[in-house]
Protein backbone atom coordinates (compact mmCIF):
# COMPACT_ATOMS: atom_id res chain seq x y z
CA UNK A 1 0.00 0.00 0.00
CA UNK A 2 1.54 3.31 -1.12
CA UNK A 3 -0.27 6.27 0.36
CA UNK A 4 0.44 10.00 0.27
CA UNK A 5 -1.00 12.24 2.99
CA UNK A 6 -1.32 15.73 1.55
CA UNK A 7 -2.42 18.96 3.19
CA UNK A 8 -1.36 22.39 4.42
CA UNK A 9 1.12 22.83 7.27
CA UNK A 10 -0.55 21.88 10.52
CA UNK A 11 -3.26 19.79 8.87
CA UNK A 12 -2.14 16.76 10.89
CA UNK A 13 -0.17 14.95 8.18
CA UNK A 14 2.54 13.71 10.52
CA UNK A 15 0.17 12.71 13.32
CA UNK A 16 -2.07 10.67 11.02
CA UNK A 17 0.81 9.17 9.04
CA UNK A 18 2.54 7.83 12.15
CA UNK A 19 -0.71 6.22 13.35
CA UNK A 20 -1.35 4.75 9.90
CA UNK A 21 2.15 3.31 9.90
CA UNK A 22 1.28 1.29 13.00
CA UNK A 23 -2.06 0.12 11.55
CA UNK A 24 -0.76 -0.72 8.08
CA UNK A 25 2.68 -2.04 9.03
CA UNK A 26 4.52 0.09 6.46
CA UNK A 27 7.08 2.85 7.14
CA UNK A 28 6.09 6.47 7.68
CA UNK A 29 8.27 8.63 5.44
CA UNK A 30 8.24 12.33 6.27
CA UNK A 31 10.39 14.64 4.16
CA UNK A 32 9.97 17.29 6.88
CA UNK A 33 11.56 14.89 9.41
CA UNK A 34 14.32 14.00 6.92
CA UNK A 35 15.04 17.71 6.43
CA UNK A 36 15.14 18.34 10.20
CA UNK A 37 17.48 15.36 10.68
CA UNK A 38 19.97 16.72 8.13
CA UNK A 39 19.83 20.12 9.85
CA UNK A 40 20.20 18.65 13.34
CA UNK A 41 23.27 16.65 12.24
CA UNK A 42 24.66 19.74 10.49
CA UNK A 43 25.62 17.68 7.42
CA UNK A 44 26.81 19.70 4.38
CA UNK A 45 23.32 19.17 2.95
CA UNK A 46 21.73 20.20 6.26
CA UNK A 47 23.69 23.45 6.31
CA UNK A 48 22.62 24.20 2.75
CA UNK A 49 18.87 23.61 3.31
CA UNK A 50 18.54 25.21 6.76
CA UNK A 51 17.87 28.67 5.34
CA UNK A 52 14.83 27.46 3.37
CA UNK A 53 13.25 25.55 6.20
CA UNK A 54 13.76 28.16 8.93
CA UNK A 55 12.13 30.89 6.82
CA UNK A 56 9.14 28.71 5.86
CA UNK A 57 10.23 28.35 2.21
CA UNK A 58 10.61 25.16 0.18
CA UNK A 59 13.83 23.24 -0.27
CA UNK A 60 14.58 23.14 -4.06
CA UNK A 61 12.84 20.31 -5.91
CA UNK A 62 16.03 18.50 -7.03
CA UNK A 63 17.50 18.51 -3.51
CA UNK A 64 14.40 17.24 -1.71
CA UNK A 65 13.82 14.65 -4.44
CA UNK A 66 17.34 13.28 -3.88
CA UNK A 67 16.71 13.13 -0.13
CA UNK A 68 13.52 11.17 -0.71
CA UNK A 69 15.10 8.79 -3.24
CA UNK A 70 17.85 8.00 -0.74
CA UNK A 71 15.23 7.19 1.92
CA UNK A 72 13.22 5.04 -0.51
CA UNK A 73 16.36 3.01 -1.27
CA UNK A 74 16.81 2.17 2.40
CA UNK A 75 13.52 0.26 2.73
CA UNK A 76 10.08 0.97 1.34
CA UNK A 77 9.51 -2.19 -0.69
CA UNK A 78 6.34 -3.20 1.21
CA UNK A 79 4.85 0.26 0.71
CA UNK A 80 4.79 3.47 2.75
CA UNK A 81 2.79 6.33 4.14
CA UNK A 82 4.50 9.37 2.61
CA UNK A 83 3.92 12.84 3.98
CA UNK A 84 5.47 16.24 3.18
CA UNK A 85 6.17 15.21 -0.43
CA UNK A 86 5.11 16.11 -3.09
CA UNK A 87 4.74 19.82 -2.42
CA UNK A 88 4.95 21.02 -6.03
CA UNK A 89 3.54 19.62 -9.28
CA UNK A 90 7.12 19.02 -10.38
CA UNK A 91 7.69 16.82 -7.30
CA UNK A 92 4.43 14.94 -8.01
CA UNK A 93 5.77 14.11 -11.46
CA UNK A 94 9.10 12.97 -9.95
CA UNK A 95 7.25 10.72 -7.50
CA UNK A 96 5.28 9.16 -10.36
CA UNK A 97 8.61 8.21 -11.97
CA UNK A 98 9.81 6.59 -8.71
CA UNK A 99 6.75 4.50 -7.85
CA UNK A 100 3.03 3.95 -8.32
CA UNK A 101 0.80 5.63 -5.71
CA UNK A 102 -2.46 3.92 -4.61
CA UNK A 103 -4.19 6.90 -3.02
CA UNK A 104 -3.63 10.53 -2.00
CA UNK A 105 -5.47 11.72 1.11
CA UNK A 106 -6.17 15.45 0.85
CA UNK A 107 -6.66 17.08 4.26
CA UNK A 108 -8.78 20.23 4.05
CA UNK A 109 -8.38 22.46 7.11
CA UNK A 110 -9.25 26.17 7.53
CA UNK A 111 -6.37 28.62 8.17
CA UNK A 112 -7.81 29.58 11.58
CA UNK A 113 -7.51 25.96 12.79
CA UNK A 114 -4.00 25.64 11.35
CA UNK A 115 -2.74 28.75 13.11
CA UNK A 116 -4.23 27.62 16.41
CA UNK A 117 -2.72 24.16 16.08
CA UNK A 118 0.76 25.16 15.02
CA UNK A 119 1.07 27.79 17.72
CA UNK A 120 0.51 25.06 20.32
CA UNK A 121 2.46 22.22 18.68
CA UNK A 122 5.23 20.33 20.46
CA UNK A 123 7.43 17.53 19.17
CA UNK A 124 9.61 14.92 20.84
CA UNK A 125 13.35 15.45 20.31
CA UNK A 126 14.06 11.73 20.44
CA UNK A 127 11.27 9.91 18.56
CA UNK A 128 9.51 12.74 16.67
CA UNK A 129 6.05 12.11 18.23
CA UNK A 130 3.75 15.13 17.95
CA UNK A 131 1.73 16.73 20.78
CA UNK A 132 -0.39 19.83 21.23
CA UNK A 133 -0.60 21.99 24.34
CA UNK A 134 -4.37 22.35 23.86
CA UNK A 135 -5.72 19.26 22.10
CA UNK A 136 -3.14 16.50 22.54
CA UNK A 137 -1.34 17.09 25.81
CA UNK A 138 1.42 14.73 26.95
CA UNK A 139 0.69 12.93 30.24
CA UNK A 140 3.66 14.68 31.90
CA UNK A 141 4.30 18.27 30.79
CA UNK A 142 7.38 18.57 28.54
CA UNK A 143 7.94 14.78 28.29
CA UNK A 144 7.04 12.33 25.53
CA UNK A 145 4.44 9.67 26.49
CA UNK A 146 6.10 7.09 24.24
CA UNK A 147 9.80 7.39 25.03
CA UNK A 148 10.17 9.99 27.81
CA UNK A 149 12.11 12.29 25.43
CA UNK A 150 12.12 16.06 25.80
CA UNK A 151 9.43 18.02 23.91
CA UNK A 152 10.36 21.12 21.91
CA UNK A 153 8.71 23.80 19.75
CA UNK A 154 9.77 23.76 16.09
CA UNK A 155 11.72 26.81 14.89
CA UNK A 156 9.25 27.24 12.01
CA UNK A 157 6.20 27.30 14.32
CA UNK A 158 6.64 31.05 15.01
CA UNK A 159 3.71 33.28 13.85
CA UNK A 160 5.50 35.01 10.91
CA UNK A 161 6.97 31.75 9.67
CA UNK A 162 3.54 30.05 9.90
CA UNK A 163 2.07 32.80 7.66
CA UNK A 164 4.88 32.28 5.13
CA UNK A 165 4.33 28.50 5.11
CA UNK A 166 0.61 29.04 4.43
CA UNK A 167 1.43 31.40 1.57
CA UNK A 168 3.88 28.91 0.07
CA UNK A 169 1.26 26.17 0.42
CA UNK A 170 -1.36 28.20 -1.46
CA UNK A 171 1.01 29.15 -4.26
CA UNK A 172 3.17 26.07 -4.82
CA UNK A 173 1.37 23.14 -3.22
CA UNK A 174 -2.37 23.67 -3.80
CA UNK A 175 -1.93 22.91 -7.57
CA UNK A 176 -0.79 19.40 -6.55
CA UNK A 177 -4.45 18.76 -5.58
CA UNK A 178 -5.59 19.37 -9.17
CA UNK A 179 -2.81 17.13 -10.46
CA UNK A 180 -3.93 14.16 -8.33
CA UNK A 181 -7.64 14.86 -8.84
CA UNK A 182 -7.15 14.58 -12.57
CA UNK A 183 -5.31 11.28 -12.01
CA UNK A 184 -8.33 10.00 -10.03
CA UNK A 185 -6.25 9.34 -6.90
CA UNK A 186 -7.50 12.10 -4.59
CA UNK A 187 -9.64 11.42 -1.50
CA UNK A 188 -10.78 14.53 0.38
CA UNK A 189 -11.13 14.70 4.16
CA UNK A 190 -12.53 17.89 5.67
CA UNK A 191 -11.54 18.70 9.24
CA UNK A 192 -13.00 21.94 10.57
CA UNK A 193 -13.03 20.93 14.22
CA UNK A 194 -9.86 22.06 16.02
CA UNK A 195 -10.52 19.51 18.78
CA UNK A 196 -11.23 16.53 16.52
CA UNK A 197 -9.88 13.21 17.81
CA UNK A 198 -6.98 12.13 15.53
CA UNK A 199 -8.14 8.49 15.79
CA UNK A 200 -11.45 9.45 14.16
CA UNK A 201 -9.65 10.88 11.15
CA UNK A 202 -7.36 7.85 10.98
CA UNK A 203 -10.44 5.54 10.90
CA UNK A 204 -11.90 7.64 8.07
CA UNK A 205 -8.65 7.35 6.13
CA UNK A 206 -8.50 3.59 6.68
CA UNK A 207 -12.05 3.20 5.33
CA UNK A 208 -11.12 5.23 2.26
CA UNK A 209 -8.02 3.21 1.39
CA UNK A 210 -9.30 -0.31 2.19
CA UNK A 211 -9.45 -2.32 -1.01
CA UNK A 212 -13.08 -3.22 -1.75
CA UNK A 213 -13.86 -6.95 -1.16
Point out which residues bind ligand ADP (CB under 6 A).
9-10, 31-32, 35, 52-53, 56-59, 64, 84-85, 87, 91, 156, 165
Residue among 154, 181, 187, 212 flagged as catalytic: 154
> For this structure, is 165 an active site residue?
yes
> For this structure, is 13 an active site residue?
yes
> For this structure, is 154 an active site residue?
yes
Buried b (16+ CB within 10 A) or exposed e, 108-118: ebeeebbbbbb
Residue among 2, 13, 19, 117 flagged as catalytic: 13
* Cβ partners under 8 Å of residue 13, min gap 6: 5, 6, 7, 30, 83, 84, 107
Minimum CB separation from ligand ADP for residue 45, in Å?
Answer: 12
- Please tell me the distance from the alpha carbon of residue 81 to that of residue 16, in angstroms, as a whole number: 9
- Please tell me the distance from the alpha carbon of residue 43 to that of residue 142, in angstroms, as a whole number: 28
Q: Closer CB to ligand ADP, residue 91 or residue 186?
A: 91
CB closest to ligand ADP, residue no: 32
Q: Closer CB to ligand ADP, residue 96 or residue 140?
A: 96
Residues catalogued as catalytic: 13, 87, 121, 154, 165
Amino acid sequence: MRIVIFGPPGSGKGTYASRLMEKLGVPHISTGDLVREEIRNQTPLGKMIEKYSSSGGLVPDETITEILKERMRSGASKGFVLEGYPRTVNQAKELAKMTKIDAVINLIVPDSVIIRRLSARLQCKSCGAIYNEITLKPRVAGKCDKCGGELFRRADDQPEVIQERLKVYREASAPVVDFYRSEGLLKDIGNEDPNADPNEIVSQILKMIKPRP
